[in-house]
Amino acid sequence: MTLPRVSIQHDDFDVGRELAALRADDGAVGAVACFVGTVRERSGAAADTLLMELEHYPGMTERAIEAMIDAAHQRFDIRGARVVHRIGALAPLAQIVLVVVSSAHRGEAFAACQFLMDYLKTQAPFWKKEHRPDGSAEWVDARVADDAALARWGLHSGNAA
Amino acid sequence: MKISVRYFAALREALGAEESVQLVSGSTLGGLRDQLIATSQRHAAALRRGRLLRCALNQVLSDESAVLDDGAEVAFFPPVTGG
């Protein structure tokens, strides 16, 4: 069974199952790298963030990440890559995003995983809104540091600045 | 020509999820933004020049120099914050 390369979903994901699925039956794989992004407790206090709401652009988000995975295959000698991103209301500590990359050797897997995450942070249409216990809510600001992270790969971001 | 405009995140809250706009042919994405700004106070505030926005043409990130075709889907949204 071949999994889609991109899944945008409300449901949580099982990291172990995703890692196993990506390298299943591929004897050329010698390395699997993964990144999991989770909902932070603001200022370290769980009470400060009640919920993180994730919005996306159905259709475009999937296409954008597919193109990023194509770019990763062009840049790095990798066997496979998959991205899972959750949407909807997520509580602190919840998993938000998963990037998994398989390759023959670790270097390419680590690099491609970081590349995909840097790319996704600044070029995939998702928006986070933070809901607080007092009923207030605020859209999360984009970070210039994320633009700088993409610049390391020779790519212009143009997101936060 | 007719253009479909979509908004996301804070722009969606200010302007609604989508609207349909009549434009003269040959208009650019930036021209569309200018026309929308002239539509109402709400549009003027949400799409004002100087506010950092991103835009997409037919679901691909684009810039304001892009020329629009009839039936195009344009989206305006704030900087992205996923991951």
Give the tens place of pLDDT for each residue, A110-160: 999 999 999 999 999 999 999 988 889 999 999 999 999 999 999 999 999
Q: Out of B10, B52, B77, name the one closest to residue A125 (CB).
A: B77
Count of domains observed in chain B: 1
Residue B50 touches chain A, beta carbons under 8 Å: no
Q: Of the ranges A107-111, A128-132, B4-8, B43-47, which one carries the lowest mean pLDDT score? A: A128-132
Distances (CA, A) of A146 to A9, A122, A141, A156: 24, 6, 11, 11
Terminus-to-terminus CA distance in chain B, angstroms? 37
**A63 to chain B: which residues are within 8 Å by CB?**
59-60
User: Which of A88, A85, A25, A19 lies closest to A55, judged by CA?
Assistant: A88
Residue B12 lies in a domain: yes
Residue B62 lies in a domain: yes
Residue B83 lies in a domain: no
pTM beyond 0.80: yes
Instruction: Grade residue A1 by pLDDT with cuts at 50, 70 and 90.
Output: low
Residue B78 touches chain A, beta carbons under 8 Å: yes
**Interatomic CA distance for residues A161 and B23, integer angstroms:** 29
Residue B20 lies in a domain: yes
**B59 to chain A: which residues are within 8 Å by CB?**
57, 59-60, 63
Q: What is the pLDDT of residues A59-115, one digit of tens each?
A: 999 999 999 999 999 999 999 999 999 999 999 999 999 999 999 999 999 999 999
State the residue range of the domain holding B6: 2-77
**A97 to chain B: which residues are within 8 Å by CB?**
82-83
Q: Determine the distance in angstroms separating the CA of A23 from the nearest CA of chain B, rounded to an integer.
A: 23
Instruction: Grade residue A43 by pLDDT with cuts at 50, 70 and 90.
Output: low
Q: For B12, which residue in chain A has the nearest alpha carbon? A: A55
Task: Write the CATH number for B53.
Answer: 3.10.20.30
Residue B82 lies in a domain: no
Q: Determine the distance in angstroms separating the CA of B35 from the nearest CA of chain A, rounded to an integer.
A: 23
Instruction: Grade residue A49 by pLDDT with cuts at 50, 70 and 90.
Output: confident
Residue A103, burial from CB neighbour count under 10 angstroms (0-12, 13-18, 19+): buried
